[in-house]
Structure 1
């Protein structure tokens, strides 16, 4: 075992003012640095610039500039280089925006720590921990820094990442737990002794796993498409260059024509928009308090068909309150105004319920029991601050009850307090069937009102050693406690939205069936009145379980370990499953789900590390928000792809057909570059910022196997582009017939193409919705992009030097009016295509 002796530097004596404590913490943070290990820094500016310059588009532009110099067209060469600088600037700003989003995402993913500052428990980012902070640890926590233990209860730590030993070790005060290790059992409190690079983990040079880096399914599909199109484009460009050489006998001009076509066909926007969409999508989720730890999860959110959610804290407020105490001698209702004294007959019930709970309660139910005990048993002999905890028996899948063993200073016998599911407590007490039936009837009556019911029992044990099984104790049944955790106010509406969106909500809880059904009814979850229980699940084979889950909406008395089988059965049925969890035992189910969702506030570090999403606000509406973002992101990607395909068709056609028909060249490299100034920002900014379609959450989830580049989407883009190309060719033919010069005809076609691109932007903003549906909000970038494009076009036409460089002449009034008509016709053509009977995947 690795042992590091670290100096302990306590925080100065308790400050008299909160500001004093904050100032001292800030001073130590400044002196020691953030509590984080050195990580790979964001990409440097020169690295971003180098990545941009290596892109094929810029290499083609440089080649075109060199050819212009060889042809003696110095002005064209200089103009191209000027535009290259401008486009590089735009690309650089977009890359920096993405990089900043990813950095913000890494900051959000920083581990969190539960500390006591100024006498209050609060969760802070792990990077803000300083020496002397008092930290609370519980089962499932990743230790955020080197900590000297002050108190510990049955504490076990997995130090394998430091020592290589796979067996957890017992930790007792005044020992230490080290940064990066995992608490596998028990609770503790301690003071931070070392942070960041000064910790044990920092000293041996370990580093945290970096977020992201893997290729997502969409990225893999995009790479295949880009590679295939690039090969085809270069082949076609080479053929066109050779054809021009053969027809006109000018090799350099032929090479220039080929390079122009390659620039027109290369879909260099696709990797850019994909990176930006996914990066900004994760960043937008972060702003909604949803941390995306795995980018592929964002892709699948829109395909989710089943949401498996915990009851406590997700559907309910996670603020338990003790409402009823019941024994066979008396009953009591808490929370009355004024609250009467607790009957003497119930003192023992509440006393042992408090003893069966942790003194420093992390669980809301135990916190509620402790608060009720402190209030109702105040100034009595039933609160035992001086009793010593000897051992405890944790909750398990086999026994849904826990016991804690205590020793009183005034007696030798051990005192055992147990609490748990009423049926488990009755089993521990070995009650006669008739006796158990009377208690079960009272349990059902309390559970029918939506309260969580637990049983309490007590026992004594003469001397050590303690038995290995709770059943060895002679427990006496004391009574029942009923606690209430009200449904969050926003849950019924959120569940209704899930139903409208074609998603099934399955509530999973450890509660009594009657309690579970009552809460499900309050939450708006449709049930058939027959919940799936943990015992029923254990008795089914896989085929029977899959059939049973077809209609199941409520799963109760479910142990954490049983969640894994539920997820596997749902996946086997073909569902796309999102699963929420917060405990150590939830980690396998979170990993097995398509989208594991951990709770950020109450969840353990193990659950958060296993999950793809972390809800920093532990409520159901956050999960629904994530689904909305997933659907919006995928729909906007498809809109952008339709636009990219549609835009490239006329550009490619205007590059190829004039060569084959013997017309003058209509598009030169500078024209392609100008159009890039419109296409790239539009794809990466306008479509990414496009709000969700108003009816997107009233449509069923997309098929998980639906590809981003499916036939229907590509066909829609090709038809849009083909219609525009036909109108542009007709415009050029009309301009030539009306006596316009080649330069004026070229200018008319280019004006119409630019305006029609803006029309395509507008048309494809609504292409993913159903007829009559519009986005659910405004997109501020649409107007700015249109204004910028029109302004640039006016500058080119209005400045004589630029007009000559573009080989333009001002067209006559007739062709100019036709340019606007072509843009309007483009809108009409796209609207006609949208009304056509498209497969569902094309919407």
Structure 2
């Protein structure tokens, strides 16, 4: 260990251990293998059912009625292609997002990718670093590690030489080093991480809703399909005709494209966000975006740009020798840390390390303490930290610090203490250190967007409440002037805390522990909470939030626990991120109504045919034509369309309330057209043509209602479907191929009249069950279809 602590591994040792496979190779959290993607898109229950029905048609029916078999190829191919696109995007961004690991090799410090760490590597630690492998501490400079993600214990643990550390924890204060004793799948957190962050769609509420649809429909399809098959065998003149009628009903009952459209919408969302340099580390996060109604923002690094400028050092002592001593003490404290935070870095730029200042005891900065300190040989003990934490109202300089903070400046206090053990309140103030923060120019517009979208903003910061209030006021945040000091909050009264959070916007002096409480309190009120952050003090809150959003330049631990990482630290990406989630959920609900309307009209038609012993009113080729023009092709584009609708709870019942009555109306209209044509003495082909015309017109009108708002491309899409259907009737080849005939105009007129009445009924149901969203929708340049 002593030798490793001095030089680390040599090149020969690294090569030897790499050859033995003792490398930190673990699966990336953001994607699954090609074989898994192919299996998920090909080996599905619906594909198996459709394939079996297709084989029956090929054996006993006409090949034209087997067109529905192409659905298997199309669904599988489109799903695989889209998911592969998402996989490439995720993998590329995941590599960029990997925080490099600082190691010492051959006696020199270097940075390597996490997967290049080998057994026995000497890993260097600083605040914000995430421990990727297990190991043993070899050096500690006030090293404090948070193990709460593993143990649930909130308090940081001091680590000394020889202590064991586990992967999954992270550094909150101090510096140190440790030797890797377990890497890759042997590390403590590796298996948990793989299970918790595996790529998939199955854990989302939306996916669960679609799965429930499938389960309900499967229960109905089996008995009704058997009833329909029995009735067709009794009604049809030959076995082939009976099989064709039964297959037509069963195929139409299956919402084969619904799962595909859900997968495509998710995958395209990942690709679109990837192009904006947003890494989606867990695919269901796309869905959560749409449900967010509270956004908690960390001021530093989110509303303000990274880095600070030292404005002034204001002396608080009358002794003429004090200014030089104070300046040296400030410089000595600022130059102690190997990896300074932005505040300390700003001081170091102006004040290099002074000679003769040797630290004998150090206390590193932490977000919980909000101060750091050191005792220097012959110079005494000094502390540097938040002015309103170290100073009391009676202390000289306290009022000045408050006045400066109220203008938006960041104010630290420098002072002497008798001991570093709990110096708060016993500091002899020597100077105020004033730093300027840079507000992001785009922050105001972004906050305004969220206000317009009904997303409540909560600005949460560890800084002085007055300083946070000044920043919030400058950005035009409603309620920004009334900042709450988190030190006064009733942590032991969750109900009171929730009420305060609901009625206030800006909070200062918030500890990491309180950030977690804030998230929990807001969630207890039924809110879906998103949390942004970049520092190690944000890790636990990001983990607990419904959606964690980390900045790309943030700490490794922060980026590891967040579901979404803004790779370019671009705060203006957040509206696009939320908008993408809303696009996915609103459009999946839209197309679900179309697919399930088809399912329910097929169920009702099958029941009518089975109970009354009637022939099914159309063949599989008719179903293929109508479904392609009123559901398949339009749904593909509508699932990728721009949408700003905010997600509402109750996805499953809301879709069923619309799809069930629509399905009943469509079925009755089609059945009536078929019976009237048959009663007038029409041939079976003429009767089926009348039914197909009615089916197309009624389901097309359902598409018209669903396609709102009527932007130019939506109108074009809906109109094109009418043109294509008209061509299929007018062109002799397609008319013959789809077994359609227009020999009796009276039947066609009756079909159109029935369709008009049915369309009116659909409109009434739509207005009652789903009022039209009157909010304006603009076709912005970014709101383009993604195919």
Q: TM-score range by the shorter chain?
A: 0.7 to 0.9
Among residues 261, 266, 272, which one is paired with 1:284 in the alignment? 272
Q: CA deviation at 1:689?
A: 0.9
Query: Counterpart of 1:692?
Result: 643
In structure 1, C-alpha distance between the alignment counterparts of 2:426 and 2:444, rounded to whole Å: 45
- CA change 1:548–1:831 in 2 (3 A) is same
Superposition pairs of residues 422-441 of structure 1, within 5 angstroms: 422-426=387-391, 434=394, 436=395, 438-441=396-399
Query: Counterpart of 1:626?
Result: 577
C-alpha contact 1:126 1:144 (8 A) present in aligned 2: yes
- Residue 469 of structure 1 aligns to a residue in which SS? coil
- Residue 302 of structure 1 aligns to a residue in which SS? helix
Q: Deviations over 1:662-711 (max 9, x none)?
A: 76543223333455555775476323211014xx3xxxx655xx221114
Q: CA deviation at 1:489?
A: 1.8
Query: Counterpart of 1:575?
Result: 527
Superposition pairs of residues 409-424 of structure 1, within 5 angstroms: 412-413=377-378, 415-424=380-389
- Residue 69 of structure 2 aligns to a residue in which SS? helix
- CA change 1:323–1:830 in 2 (3 A) is farther
Query: Counterpart of 2:549?
Result: 597
- CA change 1:506–1:760 in 2 (3 A) is same
In structure 2, C-alpha distance between the alignment counterparts of 1:350 and 1:573, rounded to whole Å: 49
Q: Which stretch has the larger CA shift, 139-148 or 496-505? A: 139-148
C-alpha contact 1:599 1:608 (8 A) present in aligned 2: yes
Among residues 393, 400, 403, which one is paired with 1:442 in the alignment? 400
Query: Counterpart of 1:37?
Result: 26
Superposition pairs of residues 757-772 of structure 1, within 5 angstroms: 757=699, 760-766=702-708
Q: Does 1:486 align with 2:464?
A: no
Query: Counterpart of 1:647?
Result: 598
Query: Counterpart of 1:18?
Result: none
Among residues 534, 538, 561, which one is paired with 2:486 in the alignment? 534
Q: Number of aligned pairs?
A: 751
- CA change 1:838–1:215 in 2 (3 A) is closer
Q: Does 1:216 align with 2:204?
A: yes
Q: Deviations over 1:20-52 (max 9, x none)?
A: xxxxxxxxx9xx999853669854469726852
Among residues 72, 76, 79, which one is paired with 1:94 in the alignment? 79
Q: CA deviation at 1:453?
A: 0.9
Q: Does 1:746 align with 2:688?
A: yes
Pick 1 or 2: higher relative contact order, CA cutoff 8 A, min separation 6. 2
Q: CA deviation at 1:564?
A: 1.8
- CA change 1:356–1:47 in 2 (3 A) is closer
In structure 2, C-alpha distance between the alignment counterparts of 1:491 and 1:828, rounded to whole Å: 48
- Residue 312 of structure 1 aligns to a residue in which SS? coil
Superposition pairs of residues 281-430 of structure 1, within 5 angstroms: 281-328=269-316, 346-357=323-334, 358-373=336-351, 383-384=353-354, 388-395=358-365, 399-406=369-376, 412-413=377-378, 415-426=380-391
Unaligned 5+ runs, structure 2: 13-17, 104-108, 151-155, 776-787
Q: CA deviation at 1:304?
A: 2.5
- Residue 449 of structure 1 aligns to a residue in which SS? coil
Q: CA deviation at 1:622?
A: 3.2
Query: Counterpart of 2:98?
Result: 112
Q: CA deviation at 1:786?
A: 7.7
In structure 1, C-alpha distance between the alignment counterparts of 2:168 and 2:503, rounded to whole Å: 43
- CA change 1:319–1:809 in 2 (3 A) is same
Q: CA deviation at 1:312?
A: 0.7
Q: Deviations over 1:103-128 (max 9, x none)?
A: 532443445235899xxx99997569
C-alpha contact 2:485 2:509 (8 A) present in aligned 1: yes
Q: Which stretch has the larger CA shift, 362-371 or 276-285? A: 276-285
Q: CA deviation at 1:504?
A: 1.8
- Residue 319 of structure 1 aligns to a residue in which SS? strand
In structure 2, C-alpha distance between the alignment counterparts of 1:386 and 1:778, rounded to whole Å: 74
- CA change 1:364–1:826 in 2 (3 A) is farther
Q: Does 1:609 align with 2:589?
A: no
- Residue 507 of structure 1 aligns to a residue in which SS? strand
C-alpha contact 2:232 2:615 (8 A) present in aligned 1: no
Query: Counterpart of 2:129?
Result: 141
Query: Counterpart of 1:710?
Result: 653
In structure 2, C-alpha distance between the alignment counterparts of 1:822 and 1:182, rounded to whole Å: 68
In structure 1, C-alpha distance between the alignment counterparts of 2:600 and 2:491, rounded to whole Å: 60
Q: Which stretch has the larger CA shift, 305-314 or 642-651? A: 642-651
**TM-score, normalised with respect to structure 1:** 0.74
Superposition pairs of residues 816-827 of structure 1, within 5 angstroms: none
Unaligned 5+ runs, structure 1: 11-28, 331-342, 375-382, 407-411, 428-432, 462-466, 767-772
User: What RMSD, in angstroms, separates the aligned Cα atoms of the two structures?
Assistant: 5.2
In structure 2, C-alpha distance between the alignment counterparts of 1:754 and 1:587, rounded to whole Å: 54
Q: CA deviation at 1:495?
A: 1.9
In structure 2, C-alpha distance between the alignment counterparts of 1:613 and 1:484, rounded to whole Å: 29
- Residue 457 of structure 1 aligns to a residue in which SS? strand
C-alpha contact 1:114 1:136 (8 A) present in aligned 2: no
Superposition pairs of residues 417-566 of structure 1, within 5 angstroms: 417-426=382-391, 434=394, 436=395, 438-458=396-416, 469-471=421-423, 476-527=428-479, 529-537=481-489, 541-566=493-518
Query: Counterpart of 1:8?
Result: 10
**TM-score, normalised with respect to structure 2:** 0.79
Q: CA deviation at 1:227?
A: 1.0
Superposition pairs of residues 128-167 of structure 1, within 5 angstroms: 137-142=125-130, 153-155=141-143
- CA change 1:677–1:95 in 2 (3 A) is farther
In structure 1, C-alpha distance between the alignment counterparts of 2:642 and 2:110, rounded to whole Å: 35
